[in-house]
Each structure stands twice: as C-alpha cells, then as structure tokens.
Amino acid sequence: MKAGSSSPAKIILFGEHFVVNGNSAIAMTIDLPTIVIAEYTEVENITIASKNLNLEVTFTMNGRIQRSKGVNAEHRLHPIFKMIRSLLHNDKQGLKISIDSRVPIGMGLGSSAAIAVAIISSLATLTGRTMQKDEIFQAAYSLEKQIHGRPSGIDQATVTYGGMIIYRNGKVETRYSELPKLPRIIIGNTGKRRSTGEYVGKVTQLRTDHPQEYARLSNEAQKVAGRAIFALKEGKDQELGALMNENQTLLERIGVSAPSLDNLIVAARTAGALGAKLTGGGGGGCMIALANDTNAATVAQAIQNAGGEVISSQFAKDGVKPIEWNE
Ligand code: PMV
C-alpha cells in the first residue's frame, strides 16, 4: 500500500524576521511542487530516497545506517529520518519515503516546510487517518520548533493552507485563494545557501543587545506590512513596489541582507522594477522583484545578467494535498 502528497513552495512578500516577534507578514504559495510517496515495506527499517538529489539511505528504527547511496547521504537525510521517526507510532512497520522536490534547498523558498507537510500528510493517508489542515500545520510547526530555535510558523502555514496569507502570532489571519490583482513577481536566486536559523539568531541577538532600536524598526515594519495589505487590496502597484523597497531597508538595518542579495536587488531596481527585496531568511537565498507586464522581461534579464538565476513559477492556490492514484 502507498500514499502520496504534494506541497507547493512559498515566498514571503512582506514581514519576514519581524514576524518571529509577533508582527504581520504576507506570504504566498508558488507552483514548485514537492512530492512525497510513503509506502509500507516488509523489512522493519526506514528507507528515505530523494530523487532530485539522487540520495537513498536505509536506517534501522534506531537510526543506524544499513545502506547508503549518494554523497554525504546519511548526513543530509538524517534530519528527515528524525522527523519521520517522531511521527511514527508503530515501531514494527517498515517504511519507504520517496521525495521528489523542485524547490532549491536553503534558498528561502520553504523547502523544509514543504517536505515536512507532505510527509505528515502522506503518512496520515497511509495510516488511514484523515488530517485537517489545522492539524497538519500544528504538526509541522511543532517539528520545526524542534529543529530550529524560534520559528514563527509562517513557512509551515503557507505551504499547508496555500494561496496568499496574512500571518501573525502563530495564526493565519486572512487567506485568499484567489490572488488580488498583482504586478508580476520575479524570483531571483543568488545561489548562496544559508541557514535561516543562523539569521533568526542574529536578529534575536540584535533584539537583546539593542531593544529600543529593534522595537523602532519592528514598529516601522508593522506599518509597512499594514500599508502593503491595503495596497494589495486596492491594486496600488506603485505603492506596493515602494513598500517592498522600504521593507528591504528595514531588513538591511537588522543585518539580514547580504552583498549577493543587494546585487540582484539593485539590478532589478535599475532595470525598472517597481520594488525589490530579499525573501525568507536572508543572508543569500532568494530575492523578489515586482514588475509591470511591460518591463517584467527586462527586469528578469537584469537579474540574470547580475548573476542570479530566475526561478520561473506561478501563484499556486492550493496548499498540501493528497495525490490521487489511478491504479
Ligand atoms: O525559511 P525561510 O528562509 O523562508 O525564512 C522563514 C521566515 C523567517 O521569518 C526568517 C523565519 C520565521 O520562522 O518566520
């Protein structure tokens, strides 16, 4: 017997980092799928295979390696083993989990949240449970808390529910399954991998060392997010772009931008983007730019000329969902 689930990826339009301490943030899902297939096996062990990374490891139920294929495979797949282990209640049943993801890893597009929610959802189907979205989100959020310090839960919420969400204090305040009329969003990847936890840690340090300065920047960021929600509803593209630039300045002030990101952001703005900012944890990873239909191609080309990889994707209105089999 086997069961599968598919999850989208995500981008954060406004409010990353400040959302960790209770601010509002706006995020949406994009159609880069992560597909997980879970199946029972006869032998009592857990095999994890990543198709796109060409890795496969079989672990005993206690986490010892039985077989391994691919460079550094044990190290790279062990966090997923730990996640699966903490979700399993039956020690006796062998399992194979196959992952096929189009989301670049560690680039701020929610790859780990996408894998987590797709695993949770496919294991639920495999074991005959119906899990509501709220339960999937809570399970993924608590797994993420075990992995890195103080996540806000925005990645897990976005890829679970799908569409565009306004997120605050561990909750989805509003969800749009249809996109408000938006200018074009271009995603540029610096190709520089980094750890979100490290950058969340940097901001926590700043907040501890300079509480007043942090509070001032956080208030500003909350105002920007509030105005962005309004500009989105009203279809005020110019204003939305200007707010993205303001958001980027605040992210620079809390120390989470990086030369690789600044380079692509400047290139996009110079080519006529309405606005541009980093997306996600910063330090590298991805940036986004807003552009009109008329200059979207020029902005994309400028990002590429500056050394970025343009990730082509569309808005996805669905979050994680089971895959229907035709067999
Ligand atoms: O996982 P990333 O890199 O997309 O970043 C998630 C957003 C942060 O605000 C930086 C962290 C969080 O938990 O909200």
Atom of ligand 1 nearest to the CA of 113: 1
Q: Which residues contact 162 (CB under 8 A, 6 or more apart)?
A: 8, 29, 177, 316, 317, 318, 319, 320
Q: Which residues contact 235 (CB under 8 A, 6 or more apart)?
A: 180, 181
Q: Which of 154, 189, 222, 254 to mutate to test the pocket of ligand 1 (most atoms within 8 A of CB)?
A: 154
Q: Which one from 31, 100, 134, 155 is the annotated catalytic residue? A: 155
Supply the pLDDT for residue 24.
98
Supply the pLDDT for residue 187.
98
Residues within 6 Å of ligand 1 by CB: 12, 16-17, 19-20, 108, 110, 151-152, 154-155, 196, 200, 280-281
The pLDDT averaged over each successive group of 10 residues in the chain (327 residues) is 96 98 97 97 96 95 95 94 87 92 94 96 93 96 83 97 96 89 93 93 97 98 97 94 98 98 98 98 97 96 98 93 79
**Ligand 1 centroid to residue 18 C-alpha, Å:** 10
Indicate which residue's Cα is closest to atom 13 of ligand 1: 151
Atom of ligand 1 nearest to the CA of 279: 4
Residue ranges of alpha helices (H) inside 20-108 are 73-87
Q: How many residues does the chain have?
A: 327
CA distance 10 to 32: 8
**Ligand 1 centroid to residue 94 C-alpha, Å:** 33
Active site annotation includes 318: no
Q: Which of 19, 30, 103 to mutate to test the pocket of ligand 1 (most atoms within 8 A of CB)?
A: 19
Supply the pLDDT for residue 194.
92
